């Protein structure tokens, strides 16, 4: 009479199968490998372990943080003309690292603590001047980081990247806590609506002076 218990053969198969699966898993994720480039409908692609892991996890950080890290570094970095920059394709985040360790958690923490407000400006632009004048009245801490795009050798590159990332092609282009705030008109509209001070505070900034001072000077 059958006892309903698994047979010895079942256990033997399971003892053999388990090591095979563990070996396959080890080879997949611990050793480099790649498949030959595929050409599907004229589109060339290449699969690798790194690409698959990236697809599963998603990109490590939004590209805007890569750009902010690049322009707020202390060594006057400039985008090389050897870097392909256009209005459609994203740039590899390693370009923005420029030799730094790929510790994006640490880089993003630095950006939030030291540079929550970044202004991409043009030194001669009247709209940029008005925006910077308004921001001065708040006496923010930490102060805004001003990037004068027209004074940089890679200014044209920055304009292309900002247009792609923010859908905003003119200056100033204001980034608050990694998000697009807009331009000069947007800044003044938010001020008039009484929202701007709270937005700065929500981004971890301290507003040291009252906006009334700016209104009185107009």
Ordered DSSP codes for 45-112 = E--BHHHHHHHHH--SS-HHHHHHHHHHSTT-----TTS---SSSPPPHHHHHTTS---HHHHHHHHH
Residue closest to 51 by CA, chosen among 32, 38, 65: 32
pLDDT tens per residue, range 15-44: 666 666 676 666 555 544 444 444 444 434
Evaluate whether residue 175 is within a structural domain. yes
Has residue 41 been placed in a domain? no
DSSP category for residue 150: G
Rounded to an integer, the average pLDDT of 45-59 is 43
Res 44: pLDDT? 40
Question: Residue 19 has what pLDDT?
Answer: 66
> What percent of the chain lies above the pLDDT cut of 90?
61
> Peptide bond preceding 86: is omega within 30 degrees of 0, i.e. cis?
no
pLDDT recorded at residue 84:
87
pLDDT of residue 45: 42
Q: Is residue 188 part of a domain?
A: yes
Residue 25 lies in a domain: no
Structure tokens at 84: 């392909």
Asked if residue 175 lies in contact with residue 72, where contact means CB atoms within 8 angstroms, the answer is no
Q: What is the DSSP letter of 142?
A: S
In a domain, 72, yes or no: yes
Omega before residue 142 within 30° of 0, cis: yes
What percent of the chain has a predicted confidence (pLDDT) above 70? 68
Q: How far is CA 77 from CA 154, 160, 208, in A?
A: 9, 17, 31
Phi, then psi, of 120 in degrees rounded to 5? -85, 115
Looking at every residue in the chain, the average pLDDT score rounds to 81
Identify whether 92 is part of a domain.
Answer: yes
CATH for 170: 3.40.30.10
Number of domains in the chain: 1
- Domain of 161 in residue numbering reads as 63-217
The torsion region of residue 139 among left (phi > 0), alpha (psi -120 to 50) and beta comes to left
pLDDT at position 112: 96
- The reply to whether 2 falls in a domain is no
- Residue 149 in domain: yes
Q: Which residues of 25-60 are buried (b: 16+ CB within 10 A; e: fewer)?
A: eeeeeeeeeeeeeeeeeeeeeeeeeeeeeeeeeeee
Predicted pLDDT of residue 116: 98
pTM over 0.95: no
Yes or no: say if 107 and 69 are a contact pair by the CB < 8 Å rule: yes
């Amino acid at each position: 009479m059958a006892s309903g218990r698994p047979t010895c053969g079942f256990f033997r198969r399971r003892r053999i199968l388990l090591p095979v699966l563990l070996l396959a898993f080890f080879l997949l994720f611990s050793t480099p490998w790649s498949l030959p480039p595929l050409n599907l409908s004229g589109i060339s692609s290449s699969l690798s372990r790194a690409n698959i892991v990236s697809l599963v996890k998603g990109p490590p950080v939004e590209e805007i943080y890569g750009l902010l890290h690049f322009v707020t570094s202390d060594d006057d970095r400039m985008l090389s003309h050897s870097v392909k920059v256009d209005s459609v394709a994203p740039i590899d985040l390693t370009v923005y690292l420029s030799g730094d360790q790929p510790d994006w958690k640490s880089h993003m923490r630095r950006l939030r603590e030291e540079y929550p407000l970044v202004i991409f400006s043009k030194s001669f632009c009247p709209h940029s001047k008005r925006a910077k004048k308004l921001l001065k009245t708040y006496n923010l801490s930490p102060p805004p980081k001003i990037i004068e795009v027209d004074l940089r050798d890679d200014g044209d590159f920055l304009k292309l990247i900002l247009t792609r990332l923010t859908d905003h092609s003119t200056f100033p282009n204001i980034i608050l806590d990694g998000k697009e705030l807009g331009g000069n008109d947007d800044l003044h509209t938010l001020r008039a609506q009484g929202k701007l001070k709270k937005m700065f505070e929500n981004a971890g900034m301290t507003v040291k002076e009252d906006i009334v001072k700016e209104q009185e000077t107009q």
